[in-house]
Structure 1
Amino acid sequence: MATNAELRRRFFRHFWKHFRVVWPIMSGLVVLQMTLGAVIGFLERWSVSEMIYFTFVTALTIGYGDLAPKRVSSRMIALAIGFSGILLTGLVAALGVRSLQDTASDE
């Protein structure tokens, strides 16, 4: 039976192995989100910090509502940010599940 520390090392080794495969997709999604957020920030005349904040809150589907786009075009772009955030979250969850499966099969 492996110790907890050894299981964690195995998990993170597997996680890193799978992460190296999908990092281009993940980084592409983040770049897409930030680009779309910059477009919304420009259209809504928000500061850079407000634009970044809105992008991550929308991408993580938290949606506090303190910043909300007023233009229809900005709202459509926000939908794309939210959808790409769901994809990114699902990808990270899939990496975790696959790494747990690989860790369990090592024993």
Structure 2
Amino acid sequence: MKFTLDFLDAFLTIAWLTLPLLGSFTCVVAGLGLVVGRIENWTPFNALYWSFITASTVGFGDIRPSQKPSKILAVVIAFVGLMFTGIVIAIAVESATYAFDRNVDIHKLTRPVGP
């Protein structure tokens, strides 16, 4: 339980510190999604839905752009989504490493050498 609490503490602390960057990426995805929605004549809801599905690299394919400028912006949205995901993964790895270092004695994990 201590490991989990240390992980969550580290994760939330680092996430809080990177919140301006993550928030900026979220705003870029939403803004570009609304631009694409205007180009493609989508509702704002569909535009935001599409942009976040694209940013998460899920890409269901139920809504897709047909105009060339929209397709270019889709690539930008996907790239921003990859950066967002990479940062969240880096936060999780760093948090797990921190919790591991605080709660696991590495010497107990290694086997003694010899007979």
Please give the TM-score of this superposition, normalised by the length of structure 2: 0.86
Q: RMSD between aligned alpha carbons? A: 0.8
- CA deviations on 1:23-81 (whole Å, 9 max, x unpaired) are 11100000000000000000101011111110111001111111111110010001000
Unpaired runs of 5+ residues, structure 1, are none
- Of the three residues 24, 40, 47, the one matched with 1:44 is 40
Distance 1:48 1:85 in 2: 19
Asked if 1:30 is matched to 2:26, the reply is yes
Please give the TM-score of this superposition, normalised by the length of structure 1: 0.92
User: 2:15 maps to which residue?
Assistant: 19
User: 2:88 maps to which residue?
Assistant: 92
Larger radius of gyration: 2
Counting aligned pairs with the same residue, the percent is: 28
- Of the three residues 79, 90, 103, the one matched with 2:99 is 103
Asked if 1:59 is matched to 2:49, the reply is no
